[in-house]
Structure 1
Amino acid sequence: MNGKKRKILLTAMRLFSTTSFHQTSMQQIADVCGLSKGSLYTYFKSKEELLSDIFEYYYQVLHDQIAAAKNESDSHEEHFIREMAIRARHYYAFQEFFMMQLKEIRGLEDSSLHDFVRQESIQLRKRTEGQIAAIYGEEIIPYAPDLNTSIKGMMISYLGEIIEQDVQHDFDRLARHLFQQLNASALWMLQNKQEPFFKASGSDKEDGLYSESVHPLYFIKKLKALAEGEQDASFALDSIALLEKELLEVNPRAAVLTGMLFNLKSLPHMKAMAEELEQAVSRMPKTIY
């Protein structure tokens, strides 16, 4: 995403959070961004499109950061703590997003944005519950919804205090601290066998509640490593660079993704990994892909 478009998104997010979506005009957004109204419309055709892109951008950045930090050598516990730190840092950086979301999403007539946010929330819930199951084993599965609710509530409470105090904090330390509390709760639940408050959905489990999909950017890192030192490295690296750049856009263009994947699949030593990347791309949310 180019710098100008990102500036517009962040500016609009702040304006929507301090006033409201309905009370903020495209002219006001243009004025704050230092653009003419006509120039603003070259980036976004309507205020509704701008709001939709804010939500897509917010979740895309979060997913990209998690994918970039993925480390195969991490234990399940280390992976969970690392991701909690990324989420906390991301939520803090985009605190205006929460204010805007609470104020705006309930008042919109178009249900597509409601559906998008709901699906993202479901996926994050499934991801967290899957990680909890990976750490503690199958016997924790009945308690995974309760533990997910606990970690989510604790993070919101701690971040609320951090924002209120308006001081810098170590989010890696916060993530470890939250995990210690989660761990104590998990061990207590396993020991006491108390009936869970929330029940795990059988359909969720069948739909892959505890399987974690791999983000396309993870395969980008793998492909870069494969390309280094090969005779056709420049061709491969150029294709990978274009793929990575496109995947970081709010709305990646299918033609670019398809073309660059075709290039990589034509290279014998990259074909298998490129096909895995192609599968990961096909699983990206339709609102983004």
Structure 2
Amino acid sequence: MKEKDKLIIETAIKLFAHKGFTNTSIQEIAHESGISKGAFYLHFKSKDSLLLSILEYYYEKLQANIFAHHDQDFQPRELFSTQLITLLDTLLEHKEFIIMQSREQAIPINDSVKAFIFKMQEDTHKFYQQGMRSIYGERIDDHLWDLSMILDGLLQSYIKLLLINPSQLETTKMVPFILRRLDHIVDGISNEEPLLTGKIVENFVQKTKSVFLSEGPKIQSVLKLLRQNIEEIDKHEDLLVSLDVLEAEINKESPRLPVLQGMLSNFKEYPQLEKFRKEISSIYQFKI
């Protein structure tokens, strides 16, 4: 990564964590980075593409920290425990940015960002499975996906608490505690049929991707039906103006969620349009 790109990314991270994604302008990022607004566009074509680069930057840093321990002389359990502690500690280092992401609905989630999030999730489960198999051996092969999901659920629940109040929880105690619970689960699951298999998970993944990475045809169909319903309403001219603005925004490469929310709010007085409001908000993952 070029040094100037890295400088812009690290500057943006600080600004996003402090002010939020929506309230931080490209002009501010450029100014704090010591460059002009025009020069910013030589490095990133938009704020959305900068967000994707930030996620990639974080992920590469996280991966480097986690796998740096491979060269050390650890037993499998000690290695996996150390890697999980490193994972949690790295998340804590950037907790302000992570909290901002989780609470700010206006962050654009375009197909590029979604695809990268899917990749991170897939890589994370591979990491969990490799770590568990190194500890428990081939006896857990049939239950790898079940155990991976269970471990992910345990970690995610504790991560939420850790990010909110890190002083109350120590990662060096949390991870061994979770791994001891995993020992009990492994012992108890061995005589049961697995709920999840590689084939079942692959089907889930493909269906999820088909929904979240192929919104174009679906959203166009919803907009067409919405227009038909609006045209059946008396004095619908203002509603059609809102729909035109909504449609124009949706057809952009990265629709702005506040604009979508604002236009959909203009339809809330009409019960016959409610299902379309809900469907569009569901596609773009925001509340109405």
Is contact 1:13–1:97 with CA below 8 Å preserved after alignment? yes
Please give the alpha-carbon distance, in whole angstroms, between the structure 2 residues aligned to 1:101 and 1:162: 16
Structure-2 change in CA distance of 1:3 and 1:137 (3 Å): same
1:95-132 Cα shifts (integer Å, max 9, x gaps): 24433544679964641221122012101111211221
Shift of 1:2: 6.7
2:81 matches 1:77 = no
Structure 1 segment 55-204 matched on structure 2, within 5 A: 55-71=55-71, 73-102=73-102, 108=108, 110-167=110-167, 170-190=170-190, 193-201=191-199
Measured on the aligned residues, the alpha-carbon RMSD in Å equals 3.2
2:198 aligned partner, one-letter code: A
Structure-2 change in CA distance of 1:5 and 1:172 (3 Å): farther
Please give the alpha-carbon distance, in whole angstroms, between the structure 2 residues aligned to 1:106 and 1:146: 34
Shift of 1:69: 1.6
- Helix, strand or coil for the counterpart of 2:192? coil
1:113 aligned partner, one-letter code: V
2:115 aligned partner, one-letter code: D
1:9 aligned partner, one-letter code: I
Is contact 2:151–2:182 with CA below 8 Å preserved after alignment? yes
1:179-206 Cα shifts (integer Å, max 9, x gaps): 112112112212xx233343333797xx
Please give the alpha-carbon distance, in whole angstroms, between the structure 2 residues aligned to 1:146 and 1:184: 14
2:197 aligned partner, one-letter code: K
1:62 aligned partner, one-letter code: L
Structure-2 change in CA distance of 1:194 and 1:176 (3 Å): same
Shift of 1:26: 0.1
Is contact 1:20–1:104 with CA below 8 Å preserved after alignment? yes
Please give the alpha-carbon distance, in whole angstroms, between the structure 1 residues aligned to 2:110 and 2:92: 28
2:10 aligned partner, one-letter code: L
Any unmatched runs of 5+ in structure 2? 203-288
Is contact 1:7–1:33 with CA below 8 Å preserved after alignment? yes
TM-score (norm 2): 0.58
Is contact 2:142–2:194 with CA below 8 Å preserved after alignment? yes
Please give the alpha-carbon distance, in whole angstroms, between the structure 2 residues aligned to 1:122 and 1:73: 27
1:70 aligned partner, one-letter code: H
Shift of 1:76: 1.8
1:199-247 Cα shifts (integer Å, max 9, x gaps): 333797xxxxxxxxxxxxxxxxxxxxxxxxxxxxxxxxxxxxxxxxxxx
1:75 aligned partner, one-letter code: Q
Any unmatched runs of 5+ in structure 1? 205-289
Aligned residue-pair number: 202
Higher relative contact order (CA 8 A, sep 6+): 1
Structure 1 segment 210-221 matched on structure 2, within 5 A: none
1:126-145 Cα shifts (integer Å, max 9, x gaps): 12112212221222123222
Tell me which moved more, 177-186 or 12-21. Answer: 12-21
- Give aligned-pair identity as a percent: 28
Is contact 1:20–1:100 with CA below 8 Å preserved after alignment? yes
